[in-house]
Structure 1
Amino acid sequence: MINRKLAIVIPYFKNEYFRECLESLEKQNDNRFNVYIGDDSSPQDPWILINSSQKKLNITYKRFDKNLGSISLTQQWERCLGMINGEEWIMLLCDDDVLSENVVNSFYKNLDEIEDAKSKVVKFASQVVDEYGKPVTEKYCHPKLQDYRDVFYDRFFNANRSSLSEHIFRRTSFQKYGFHDYPLAWHADDMAWLEFSEFGKIYSINEACVYFRSSAIHLSRSDFLLEEKRDTTYLFFNNVIYEYLENFNQYQITAILKRYELLTFSFKKVNFNFVFQFFRLKLKHEGIYEALKFIRRICINRKELK
């Protein structure tokens, strides 16, 4: 019997690039994985494609009667993750992304090191491609072992990038934390890697690549639902500030506090509760001088105060 520790879970809704996604799984040079496809009551029937791929892949397919992704994308993810059969590791693969043929093999090749490092999140190299599969960015690679706080800092302050599909994570970590139910699932993956990793080491594999699809129908396109995305970015940083700030080092804390303050003013979220709570944070982490400078900025911009 083939030992399959890896589940590749695909929350399915659109078929524009689904063939390419499945073909990239068929081309894997290591078949130690199971595929789970959760159909979010899509109007685009994927069965012909799935049936064809079943000749090479071990696929479990389920069509859900109710469309959930339009209400909560993270709940759709979790519903699909409920299909797995006890695999220890999970990849949540978007239905329009593709894998290089050595992704699964490189995961198993490095698995002993991953487990020795007690890593709960694995990250592959990635590259953004267009509608035709042509690269539109350079290949993004990462240090082999990196503290999550440094991964977070690179993501938000060093112009690095991240996507859902390029990660593999432990089932037990998902069961412990789940996904935050952010609108559009915006930053839900960022919060997941923060929590799933428990600020331990992220293990990166650069010899294999996940190709992230950027297209006119993708949620992440720059002109789509900007206000909702901005509000969710504020909510995400609010959660990081008040739940996990202590896990970062001093220069990272300073950068995170500065970003959160800018977001609060930019999105007109300033109120007396924010001033009180944020003053305490500045005082605790940066001292009385920086805390008083914050109060001075509030006084200068007091018209923003609600």
Structure 2
Amino acid sequence: MTHRLAIIIPAYKATFLPAALDSIAMQTCKDFILYVGDDCSPEPIGNIVEQYRDKIELVYQRFDTNLGGKDLVAQWERCIAMSREEPYIWLFSDDDVMEPNCVEELLRQIEKTEGYYDVYHFNVDIINERGAYKKRKQDYPAVLPAYRFYRGKNSGRLSAFVVENVFSRKVYEQMDGFPKYDLAWGSDVAAWIMFSGRKGMCTVPNARVCWRQSSQNITPDYSRQIAERKLRAQMALLNWAYRYFAEEPDIYTTNRAFFILFIHYNRRFVSKESIKEAFASYFAVHGRHWDMPLIYFCAFLIDGIYFRIRKWFTWLYGDKE
């Protein structure tokens, strides 16, 4: 029997894996196969997965080498390669959970829209290490254009976690997989932009994904080495987006605001050399070197007031889009 959905878990951490698998086992619709790719973990991933074979139709594979520590996108892609011909792919995680009706509501929305969209999105709640609710992230509109998603994500108004989105196998193959960024930082954002294309992404109503905020996430890691790698990845994404959205009339001013934000937030965690490298990268692609004094002034001298004023105007007058 061919199922409509492949749920993919690139697994390495065992701590919250039972919670993730419990949430999948509780799905009200079973029209999926779960694929678990064990990234040569020292933790008992296989033993945990085996306990669910009578609850979930699943495929488990332990890889001989650890890939996620070097190239996380490559680990995602070799796990996706485990799947068969399911027309939709959900790249999930080993520590997040889904509400019991997620698969049912997803497939209902796909049927309702006649499969028009290549990206279907779940709204998100944040949970803590104990699984307790912390807060609700901003809901997406029914359909979100790619450029509005880009602006919302980089301004902090919208979240963008890997587990939020389900994508079609067709577009995944057409786009040759995920873009490659260090630490996979921004790889998902660029992918959702490319995968959704001119159609935008469609939100699945009446079901949510719970993203776990814990000490094991890469996001809170502000060691200098990780922070500098993240900044380089952010710059690569910023420069790519400038070219990708070249037809958008405000892409330069949008990216300038984001660049100021990136420098302002990262300056405490990275070296001066990394800041200089980021400036060189930005102006090599965006040009307009005469903006350098303004950017320095806003990012360093007045504590990012440029971006704060931008946020105030958005709050007062709304997003013009």
Tell whether the 8 Å contact from 2:125 to 2:208 is kept in structure 1 after alignment.
yes
Task: Supply the distance in 1 between the matched residues of 2:237 and 2:280 (Cα, whole angstroms).
Answer: 20
Aligned position for 1:246: 246
Tell whether the 8 Å contact from 1:214 to 1:221 is kept in structure 2 after alignment.
no
Aligned position for 2:120: 122
Tell whether the 8 Å contact from 2:245 to 2:251 is kept in structure 1 after alignment.
no
Q: Match for 1:104: what amino acid?
A: V
> 1:60-99 residue pairs with structure 2 within 5 A?
60-99=59-98
Task: Supply the distance in 2 between the matched residues of 1:69 and 1:129 (Cα, whole angstroms).
Answer: 24
Shift of 1:299: 11
> 1:174-253 residue pairs with structure 2 within 5 A?
174-177=172-175, 178-224=177-223, 225-241=226-242, 243-248=243-248, 250-253=249-252
Aligned position for 1:6: 5
Deviating beyond 6 angstroms after TM superposition, the runs of 4 or more aligned structure 1 residues are 270-273
The question of 1:58 aligning with 2:50 is answered: no
Structure 2 unaligned segments of length 5 or more: list them.
268-274, 298-321
Relative distance call for 1:164 and 1:247 in structure 2 (3 A) is farther
Task: Supply the distance in 1 between the matched residues of 2:26 and 2:247 (Cα, whole angstroms).
Answer: 40
Shift of 1:262: 6.4
Aligned position for 1:151: 149
Three-state SS of the structure 2 residue aligned to 1:156 is helix
Task: Supply the distance in 2 between the matched residues of 1:299 and 1:52 (Cα, whole angstroms).
Answer: 56
Task: Supply the distance in 1 between the matched residues of 2:135 and 2:236 (Cα, whole angstroms).
Answer: 29
- Which TM-score applies when normalising by structure 2? 0.81
| 1:201-249 alpha-carbon deviations (Å, 9 max, x no partner) | 21001311111111111111253522221221112111111x312253x
Aligned position for 1:22: 21
Shift of 1:58: 0.6
Task: Supply the distance in 1 between the matched residues of 2:92 and 2:80 (Cα, whole angstroms).
Answer: 11
Relative distance call for 1:138 and 1:295 in structure 2 (3 A) is closer
Match of 2:139 among 119, 138, 141: 141
Three-state SS of the structure 2 residue aligned to 1:155 is helix
Tell whether the 8 Å contact from 1:10 to 1:93 is kept in structure 2 after alignment.
yes
Relative distance call for 1:247 and 1:98 in structure 2 (3 A) is farther
Aligned position for 2:276: 268
Task: Supply the distance in 2 between the matched residues of 1:299 and 1:255 (Cα, whole angstroms).
Answer: 16
Q: Match for 1:175: what amino acid?
A: E
Three-state SS of the structure 1 residue aligned to 2:106 is helix
Task: Supply the distance in 1 between the matched residues of 2:100 and 2:281 (Cα, whole angstroms).
Answer: 52
Aligned position for 2:291: 294
Shift of 1:108: 1.1
Q: Identical aligned pairs, as a percentage?
A: 26
